[in-house]
């Protein structure tokens, strides 16, 4: 019994000496480099709080409905040599609304008929089909109407002064940006009663907010006089 206690004491002392030797080797490096090491709970809480606050600020900035181009990340991702001369002022808002419309349309198409048939047990089968079809048609029609209304909107426009062509970014029905190259010679006045249309090119309508297009020479080319 005494021998076991003695062996346990020797092992504990050897472990203590090893740990002290490690600390002795590490401390000179910290002193030479001037680094400060603080493991207090207050320091850990402060750093974690700073990280959480920065993440919350980024998330809050993404959830805001902004008018005009976003600073920082979006401008920093632009490639050099590609000059963006026009930003759609409500581009971010249109994308959020379109994503919301697509999500509600998918939920209505997939869950609408199921909920109708499961909740209304005493309803006639033909009436159930009519209600489910009405829900699907209404959801799909509102999504299609939104796409038709905002499809001419130009989200970004790239143009090099002196060039005969320019590039626009449009939004597809899946809320993805699609680049298109247009020639100035193909621009025609829009002969339509459709709202929010500035010009027509290659059979498609396009809209530019004149208040946010600061290049007057480009704006004159994009808005030809009506014949």
- Is the pLDDT at 82 greater than 80? The verdict is no
- Is the pLDDT at 65 greater than 50? The verdict is no
Annotate 133-158 with DSSP letters as a single string. Answer: HHHHHHHHHHHHHHHHHHTTB--EEE
pLDDT digits (tens, 9 = 90+) for 160-203: 988 899 999 999 999 999 999 999 999 999 888 888 899 999 99
Distance CA 151, CA 153 (A): 6
pLDDT at 169: 96
pLDDT at 67: 47
Distance CA 199, CA 204 (A): 9
The two three-digit tokens of residue 26, written as one number: 């590490």
| Averaged pLDDT for residues 198-218 | 91
| Averaged pLDDT for residues 22-29 | 46
Distance CA 105, CA 87 (A): 29
Does the pTM surpass 0.75? The reply is no
């Amino acid at each position: 019994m005494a021998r076991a206690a003695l062996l346990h004491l020797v092992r504990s002392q050897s472990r203590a000496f090893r740990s002290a030797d490690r600390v002795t080797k590490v401390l000179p490096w910290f002193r030479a480099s001037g680094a400060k090491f603080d493991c207090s709970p207050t320091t850990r809480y402060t750093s974690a709080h700073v990280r959480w606050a920065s993440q919350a600020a980024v998330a809050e900035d993404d959830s805001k409905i902004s008018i005009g181009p976003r600073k920082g990340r979006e401008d920093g991702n632009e490639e050099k040599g590609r000059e963006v001369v026009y930003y759609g002022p409500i581009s971010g808002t249109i994308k959020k609304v379109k994503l919301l419309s697509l999500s509600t349309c998918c939920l209505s198409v997939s869950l609408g008929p199921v909920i109708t048939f499961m909740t209304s047990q005493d309803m006639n089968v033909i009436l159930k089909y009519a209600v489910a079809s009405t829900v699907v048609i209404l959801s799909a029609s509102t999504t299609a109407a939104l796409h038709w209304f905002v499809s001419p909107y130009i989200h970004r426009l790239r143009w090099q002064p002196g060039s005969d062509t320019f590039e626009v970014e449009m939004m597809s029905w899946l809320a993805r940006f699609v680049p298109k190259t247009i020639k100035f010679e193909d621009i025609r006045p829009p002969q339509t009663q459709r709202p929010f249309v500035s010009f027509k090119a290659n059979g498609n309508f396009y809209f530019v907010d004149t208040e946010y297009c600061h290049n007057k020479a480009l704006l004159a080319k994009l808005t030809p006089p009506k014949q």
